[in-house]
Structure 1
Amino acid sequence: MVARASELVPLIRERSQWIDENRRLPADVIEGIERSGLLKMRVPARYGGYQSDARTLIDVHAEIARGDSSTAFCVSVWSLINWIAGLYPDEVQDEVFATPNSRVCGTLAATGKAAPKNGGYVLNGEWRFNSGVLHSHWKLVVAEPDEAGAAEGPIMAILPASSFEVVDDWHTHGLRGSGSVSVRAHDVYVPKERVRPVMEFFDEQCKSETNSAEPIYQVPMLVTSTVATAGQCVGAAEAAIEHFLNRLPGRKITYTDYETQQTAPLTHLQVGEATLLAEEARLRARTFADLVDAKAARNEPWTQAERIRSRVEMGRVAQLAQQSIRIISTASGGSSIYNDVPIQRIHRDIETIALHALTSPNTNIELLGRHLCGLEPNTTYL
């Protein structure tokens, strides 16, 4: 899988400026991703999927991010949400994965409303930040039932992406190419088999009779989210360093006596520090992925402390990558602000990733400190 991802990097880099400017992935990149088989990483084996382990997700998503962060973000979303689809009853999966290279996107924010009807629900509302929806076949949404169904709390529903109206509002600072537009539902009916209470996904989550015995489907949802997301941060930091070193020969430091930036001690400190931060980010991500795979192999339950650690690892990996990229961005000089210089895009993208509610370093590190001080978590998202 990593080798196949590496083969895509030249194409993705060639198209990265187009991706950023057009706010979506081009057809040739989508076709390349489909041919690579990467969309099958978290698809159940009975549908031709690979049920790839956590380390594979980290390394593959890092490799795609070496090409472009928006592309990596979409691929990581499809890895995670395809996996979530594998938690639904088998008859739902038969529908979702009937399409070759099926792509499922989704969000966890309960910003829609659901009214019970004929055993299912009628959905209305708007959902933001739908990364990859422009290229997805199915979409997962969370909604609050009205009074008639309020007792069971928010529901998670999966529907064809074509059921929703697309709102072209993704005009952003970073991750522009992820096409994370808003969508609206207008009296969209979802049958009962495609609806589950949200809290099931934080407890005894797997409702698939076939997948319930598979180790990767026993891993908590937000732990899986960490291993699906962390790799792209690692790859972004490594890409920034690579692009910087490629530009380095012959570049001067304007208004100084240095004939080339390559000989300046400041450059050596910057490159050295940025590299160490990127290496630490990869090490943390891989170490956590290895823990996930080891616990899955032993079918061990996850403690509250381990679930908190998962959130912290996501925040810390993002923070390390962010620090590395900031150093490289500073070292890149005034000429790096042009659109055809990758570092400005990588910098914008990592700052955007670090603002994600589940990725935010500050939120996640505070959660760890709260736990260490003997307090209960102030979130159910564990």
Structure 2
Amino acid sequence: MLATTVPSRDELVRKATDLIPLLRKHAPWAEQNRRLHDEVVEALADAGMFKLRRPKHFGGYEVDTLTLAQVAAELGRGCASTAWVTSVYWIPTWMTCQFPDEVQEEVFATPDVRICGTLSPSAMAAPADGGIVLNGKWGFISGAHHAQWQEIIAILVPPNGEPYPVMALVPLSDLLVVDDWDTSGLRGTGSVSTVAKDLFVPSERVLPLPVLLSGQTASKRNGNTPIYRAPLMPVAAASSTGAIVGIAKGAMDVFFERLPDRKITYTNYESQREAPITHFQVAEASLKIDEAEFHAWRTSNLVDRKCEEGTEWKLEERAKTRADVGSVIRLAKDAIDVLATASGGTSIYSGIPIQRFNRDIQAVNQHALMHPNTNFELYGRVLCGLEPNTLYI
């Protein structure tokens, strides 16, 4: 497949900005139906959003991490669920690029292929002739309804030796989809569960997870491409931050849209815009969003610089990317809380968007690999000279 012309960062960000009205239009539908609207997925594909981590030799763009973050920030202004799912697709797509080249040929034969996935080893794998056999269930599989492949993690129990986690690629058509996604936030992500029962996966579509976590690759064509030569967790962390910044910016957008016509009930303020407390609130929220953006861009720039240099990652650098994600979430959540508090009693109606942004950021905050408390503890542990108590660094 011939490589395509790669749009600039500014062009891709502009394409994402142009999608905001459509994303906002369909956000209530996505929340009600617990998945993205087909029109939104088609528009994302037309805008090239699923090509950002696809290799150039398969018609992709191979953009850097900062581009991902800035594009996702625009998508998040329109719809948190859309930005989240798009970011989730980027990460397993990058992971697919670590597999042998013949596996990539199979996966990327589908135009605008969408790959969902998880990092949770919640299934078991048994050795089989020519591959492994999977049994188990994976939860929180964002974007599964519109994906063709899923990246999975399972614990392989070899005949001899200790069990260890493996990563594999499986077609969604080989998995049972369990529609159990009924939540308070990020409802539009369609983060259902998937199940494998005695599913055979050929060995070429299986990699030891520690290999990927350490930054090694089984791909010959991608081995020297900067964006593909990094440990998994810094890439995954940095790829997630833009959507979070965008959720906070989206909350600010909808707050200001309501501001001129809102009174403050039981006061003499005919417009909330005239009240000094409002001035304080919007300044505080805006500065928190600025801080969140700083951490998001910083960790993206770190990943991009290390990829370009091809230098070994220090343990502290890896932990800092997790800490940056935690900071982005904490600051975005705080900013949205300020805006939601300032939005009055009418903001709890389902037709007022800020209540959805507020619930969505609460859901992001609970993500096991993104929770500020978990990530700050990990970073502090490393700063204190202790070994990390997790493989996911």
TM-score (norm 2): 0.95
3-state secondary structure, aligned to 1:169: coil
3-state secondary structure, aligned to 2:196: strand
Deviations 1:311-352 (A, max 9, x none): 101111111101100100110111111111110100111111
C-alpha distance in structure 1 between counterparts of 2:67 and 2:197, whole Å? 39
Please tell me whether the aligned partners of residues 115 and 149 of structure 2 are also in contact (alpha carbons under 8 angstroms): yes
The number of aligned residues is 382
1:176-325 equivalent positions in 2, closer than 5 A? 176-325=187-336
Determine what percentage of the aligned residue pairs are the same residue: 47
Q: CA deviation at 1:194?
A: 0.2
Please tell me whether the aligned partners of residues 155 and 163 of structure 2 are also in contact (alpha carbons under 8 angstroms): no
Please tell me whether the aligned partners of residues 144 and 150 of structure 1 are also in contact (alpha carbons under 8 angstroms): no
Please tell me whether the aligned partners of residues 157 and 164 of structure 2 are also in contact (alpha carbons under 8 angstroms): no
1:26-65 equivalent positions in 2, closer than 5 A? 26-65=37-76
3-state secondary structure, aligned to 1:258: coil
Q: Does residue 79 of structure 2 align to residue 68 of structure 1?
A: yes
Q: CA deviation at 1:150?
A: 5.7
Deviations 1:223-261 (A, max 9, x none): 111121000110111111111011001211111222221
Q: CA deviation at 1:147?
A: 4.9
1:30 corresponds to which letter in structure 2? V
C-alpha distance in structure 2 between counterparts of 1:15 and 1:314, whole Å? 28
2:346 corresponds to which letter in structure 1? S
C-alpha distance in structure 1 between counterparts of 2:196 and 2:123, whole Å? 8
Match of 1:361 among 362, 368, 372: 372
Moved more, 250-259 or 31-40: 250-259
Please tell me whether the aligned partners of residues 152 and 197 of structure 1 are also in contact (alpha carbons under 8 angstroms): no
3-state secondary structure, aligned to 1:379: coil
Q: CA deviation at 1:20?
A: 0.7
Match of 2:137 among 118, 122, 126: 126
2:155 alignment partner in structure 1? 144
Change (3 A) 1:279 1:149: farther
3-state secondary structure, aligned to 1:2: helix
C-alpha distance in structure 1 between counterparts of 2:299 and 2:158, whole Å? 41
C-alpha distance in structure 1 between counterparts of 2:74 and 2:173, whole Å? 30
Change (3 A) 1:70 1:204: closer
Q: CA RMSD in A?
A: 1.1
1:163 corresponds to which letter in structure 2? D
2:179 alignment partner in structure 1? 168
3-state secondary structure, aligned to 1:290: helix
Q: CA deviation at 1:373?
A: 2.2
Q: CA deviation at 1:204?
A: 4.3
Q: CA deviation at 1:282?
A: 0.9
Unaligned residue ranges in structure 2 (runs of 5+) = 1-11
C-alpha distance in structure 2 between counterparts of 1:13 and 1:300, whole Å? 41
2:386 alignment partner in structure 1? 375
1:109 corresponds to which letter in structure 2? S
Deviations 1:103-140 (A, max 9, x none): 11100111111121112011111110000111001001
Q: CA deviation at 1:286?
A: 1.1
Q: CA deviation at 1:301?
A: 1.5
Q: CA deviation at 1:16?
A: 0.6
2:98 corresponds to which letter in structure 1? L
C-alpha distance in structure 1 between counterparts of 2:158 and 2:295, whole Å? 45
C-alpha distance in structure 2 between counterparts of 1:57 and 1:285, whole Å? 11
C-alpha distance in structure 2 between counterparts of 1:369 and 1:152, whole Å? 29
C-alpha distance in structure 2 between counterparts of 1:342 and 1:30, whole Å? 21
Please tell me whether the aligned partners of residues 115 and 149 of structure 1 are also in contact (alpha carbons under 8 angstroms): no
C-alpha distance in structure 1 between counterparts of 2:28 and 2:349, whole Å? 11
C-alpha distance in structure 1 between counterparts of 2:92 and 2:204, whole Å? 17
C-alpha distance in structure 2 between counterparts of 1:298 and 1:204, whole Å? 14
2:21 alignment partner in structure 1? 10
2:3 alignment partner in structure 1? none
Q: CA deviation at 1:205?
A: 2.2
C-alpha distance in structure 2 between counterparts of 1:99 and 1:371, whole Å? 42
Q: CA deviation at 1:198?
A: 1.0
C-alpha distance in structure 1 between counterparts of 2:330 and 2:160, whole Å? 40
C-alpha distance in structure 2 between counterparts of 1:150 and 1:41, whole Å? 39
Q: CA deviation at 1:287?
A: 2.1
Q: CA deviation at 1:195?
A: 0.5
TM-score (norm 1): 0.98
C-alpha distance in structure 2 between counterparts of 1:142 and 1:203, whole Å? 16
3-state secondary structure, aligned to 1:148: coil
Change (3 A) 1:149 1:187: farther
Q: CA deviation at 1:148?
A: 2.4
Moved more, 267-276 or 293-302: 293-302
C-alpha distance in structure 1 between counterparts of 2:287 and 2:18, whole Å? 26
C-alpha distance in structure 2 between counterparts of 1:154 and 1:18, whole Å? 38
1:21 corresponds to which letter in structure 2? Q
